[in-house]
Structure 1
Amino acid sequence: MHSLLRSCLVLPLALLGGLGCGEDEPQTPARLTVAIPVVARVGAEPFACGRTYTDVGTTKTTYEPMDFRVYVHDVRLVTRGGQEVPVTLDEDNTWQHAGVVLLDFANKDGLCTQGTAGMNAAIRGSVPGGDYTGLRFTLGVPEDLNHGDVSTAPAPLGDTSLFWSWRSGYVFARIEGRTKGLPQHVMHLGSTDCAPPPAGQTNGTAGCANENRPQLNLEGFDLSTGKVVMDLGALFADSNLDVNASGPNTAVGCMSSPTDVDCAPLFERLGLAFGEQAANPAAQAFIRAE
C-alpha cells in the first residue's frame, strides 16, 4: 500500500491524469480551436472589390465585382477513419449564429455598394482533438431557419439584402458583377417553388420543391495548413456572362428559377439538379480545398 501511494506521488501530474493511479476515470478529449480560412478567387487571382478581371466565362469577358456573400452551415471535419465530427461554431452574433456562418468577401470598394464594409473569410469554432483529413459543410441556410422573420433575426441572419420572402427564405449566395455585355449579372442561389404556409400559419412554407443546398465534401483537407477556395472563375467557366439567355423581362443572370436557362451551367458547377439535369456532386467546381 505504501509502495503504491509513493508511486502515485512521484509520477508527473500529466501522467497521473492519464493513469488515474489504477482507477478507471473517463477522460475528456482536449478540444482544438479551429479557424478555417476561406479565400475568394477569380481563377488564379484573389477576389477584391474594385478590381477588373479578364477572360471570365465562355466569352472571356471582363468582370467587375458588385457583391460576393455566401451562407454555410452543418460544418464537419472527417477523421482518417471516415467519421464525421461536427464543428461547434463560435457564437459571435456578427458572422456566426445558430450553426450558420456568413462568408462576406465584399467591402465598399469599387462597385460593391450593396453590402457592408465588414468582411469575413473564416469559419471559427472547436472540435475534439483528432486526426482529420476532410471537411464537409452545406452551402445555404438550414431549413429550420430559412423562413423566419428577418426583421428580428440576429446577425448574420438579419440582413434584408440576403432575404427574398417568408416563403422562399434567404439568398444562400449573392454574387453580382458587371461585364462587357451586361451592366449587372446576378447569381442568387436559394430555395424555389416553395409552398404556401401550412394551415393556420401566416408565414413560412410547407416545403420547397427545390431546396438548392449543395453538399460540399472536401477530401484531403489539412486542418493545420489547408484553406477553402471559392472560385468565381470556375463557377462561371461554362456561362456566357455577356447576355441574358432567358430573354427580356427575366432576371439578368440566375435567380435560381427552374425555368431560367442561365442557371443551368451554374447549377452544374454547384453539383445541383436543374430541370432535367440531374444532380451531379462530382461536377461541383466552385468550391475546393487547398
Structure 2
Amino acid sequence: MNAVWKSARWVLLPTLLLLQACGDDAESRKTYTVRFSPQVRQEALTCQGLYTDIGTSRSTLELLDFKMYVRDVTLVRANGERHPLKLEQDGTWQRDAIALLDFEDGTGTCRKETNSQMHREVVGSAPEHDDYTRLEFKVGLPPEINHLDAERQAAPLDKTPMWWQWQTGYKFVKLDIRTPANAEYVFHLGASGCRGTPGEGYNCASNNQATITLDDFSPETNQVVLDVAGLYAELDVNRVPNGTTDMMPGCMSGAGDPECPALFSQFGLAADGSPKALPKTFFRVR
C-alpha cells in the first residue's frame, strides 16, 4: 500500500504544483502604463517653448534638461490594497523596480543633450482591477545603490549626466532651465553631505528620499502632471547668486542653499530631507 501511495504521490506531484501555480496567479495580471506630463500650468513643457509668468519675479524660462529617477511605482485600490508594478525590463529605461524618465529630446534649447530619445512613462504589470484610485512612487535611488559607479552600470544607471561626482552619488532629479538673468538655473535633487569610500560604503547627512502619493488616480484615464510653474512658484528664478551665502543659481541639495527649501517642499521634503506634507502644485493628477 505504501509503495502504491508513493507511486501515486509522484504522479500527483506535478498536478499539485500546477494547481498551486494557478492559485498563486489566481488574479490575472494586466500591463499598466503610468504616464508623466511635464507642463507649465496647462501648457506642455518642451525644448522649443518660452514660458512666462514664472516665480515671484514673474519671469520667463526655457528648458535645458529634465530627467528624473522613480522607483517602487505602486497602484492602490479603493479598499487600500497595494499592488507594486512589476516593471518591464526593457534594457534601456527600466531595471528592477527603477525607471528613468527623460523629458528632453535634444532639440531647441536642449541641444546640449545629444540624445533625442525620451521616456515619459513607466510600464509594468499588476493584478487586473478596475478600482485603482491612488498612485504611489518614490523619487530617486535607494541608498544602497546610490553610490555605484555610473560608468560600470547597466541602463538606466549608466547615464553619466545623472552622476554627481562631487557628492559621489546620483542626481535623482536634474531640471535645468534658462532665465533672463541666469544662463543656467539648476535643480539637482540627490543625497547630500555624503562621506565614505566604495570599499567601506557611504553615509549621507540627508538621503533626500521623496515619496509621492496622488489620490484620485486611475492608470487607465489619468496622468501625473509635473508643473514647473508650481515648482518655482515661491522662488525668484532671476535671483543672481551673491557668492557668499548663495554660490550658484538654483539648488544642488546643499543644506544651506537658500533656494533648496522651496524646491524640496514640492517633493514633500523639509530642508533637512525629512518628510513633510506634499503640496499639489508640482505633482498633480490630470
Q: Give 1:283's aligned residue.
A: 279
Correspondence for 2:253 among 256, 266, 280: 256
Q: 1:132 to 1:73 in 2, by over 3 A?
A: same
> What are structure 1's unaligned runs of at least 5 residues?
1-19
Are 1:37 and 2:35 counterparts? yes
Which residue of structure 1 lines up, in the alignment, with residue 239 of structure 2?
243
- 1:147 partner amino acid: H
Q: Which residue of 1 aligns with 2:10?
A: none
Displacement after TM superposition at 1:278 (Å): 6.6
- Counterpart residue type for residue 123 of structure 1: V
1:120 maps to what in 2? 119
What displacement does 1:58 show? 0.7
Using the TM superposition, give the Cα deviation of residue 267 of structure 1 relative to its aligned residue in structure 2, in angstroms: 1.2
Report the alpha carbon displacement of residue 167 of structure 1 after superposing the two structures with TM. Answer: 5.4
Q: Supply the AA of the counterpart residue of 1:49.
A: C
Give the equivalent residue in structure 2 for 1:215. 211
Deviation at 1:211? 1.1
Q: How big is the shift at 1:245?
A: 4.7
Is 1:224 the counterpart of 2:250? The answer is: no
The secondary structure found in structure 2 opposite 1:151 is: helix
Distance verdict in 2 for CA 1:240–1:203, change over 3 Å: farther
Q: Distance in 1 between matches of 2:29 and 2:242?
A: 51
Superposition deviation, residue 203 in structure 1 = 6.6
Check the 8 A contact 1:179/1:185 in 2, yes or no: yes
Structure 1, residues 116-144: CA drift from partner, whole Å, max 9, x if none?
21001111000012231111000111222
Residue of structure 1 in register with 2:185 after alignment: 185
Aligned to 1:3: none
Alignment-derived partner of residue 60 in structure 1: 58
How big is each residue's C-alpha offset from its partner over 1:154-198, in whole Å with a ceiling of 9 and x where there is no partner? 11110111011385411011001110111110011100011213x
Distance 1:178 1:85 in 2: 39
Q: Aligned partners of 1:29, 1:157: CA distance in 2, in Å?
A: 32
Partner Cα separation in structure 1 for residue 61 and residue 263 of structure 2: 16
Conserved? CA contact 1:59–1:242, under 8 Å? yes
Tell me what 1:142 maps to. 142
The question of whether the paired residues in 1 share the 8 Å contact of 2:163 and 2:170 is answered with yes
**What is the CA RMSD across the aligned residues, in angstroms?**
2.0
Structure 1 range deviating more: 42-51 or 157-166: 157-166
- C-alpha contact 1:76 1:137 (8 A) present in aligned 2: yes
The 1:114–1:146 alpha-carbon spacing in structure 2 relative to 1, beyond 3 Å, is farther
The runs of at least 4 aligned residues of structure 1 exceeding 6 Å deviation read none
Q: Deviations over 1:191-239 (max 9, x none)?
A: 0011213xxx53741x212111211001110121111111111101111
CA distance in 2, matches of 1:166, 1:53: 32
SS in 1 for 2:108: coil
Q: TM-score, normalised by structure 2?
A: 0.86
Cα separation, 2, equivalents of 1:285 and 1:215: 15
Instruction: Report the equivalent of 1:71.
Output: 69
Equivalent pairs, count: 262
Q: How big is each residue's C-alpha offset from its partner over 1:4-38, in whole Å with a ceiling of 9 and x where there is no partner?
A: xxxxxxxxxxxxxxxx9xxxx73621101111111
| 8 Å CA contact 2:181, 2:240 repeated in 1 | no
What's the secondary structure of 1:187's corresponding residue? Answer: strand
Question: Any unmatched runs of 5+ in structure 2?
Answer: 1-18
Q: Residue by residue, what CA displacement relative to the aligned partner does 1:60-109 show, whole Å, maximum 9, x if unpaired?
A: 11101100111100111101111221110010121111211111111111
Counterpart of 1:134 in 2: which secondary structure? Answer: strand
Counterpart AA for 1:107: D
CA contact (8 A) 1:245 1:262 kept: no
Letter in 2 for 1:283: P
- Counterpart Cα distance in 1 of 2:221 and 2:31: 14
Contact kept, 8 Å, 1:270 with 1:285, in 2: the verdict is no
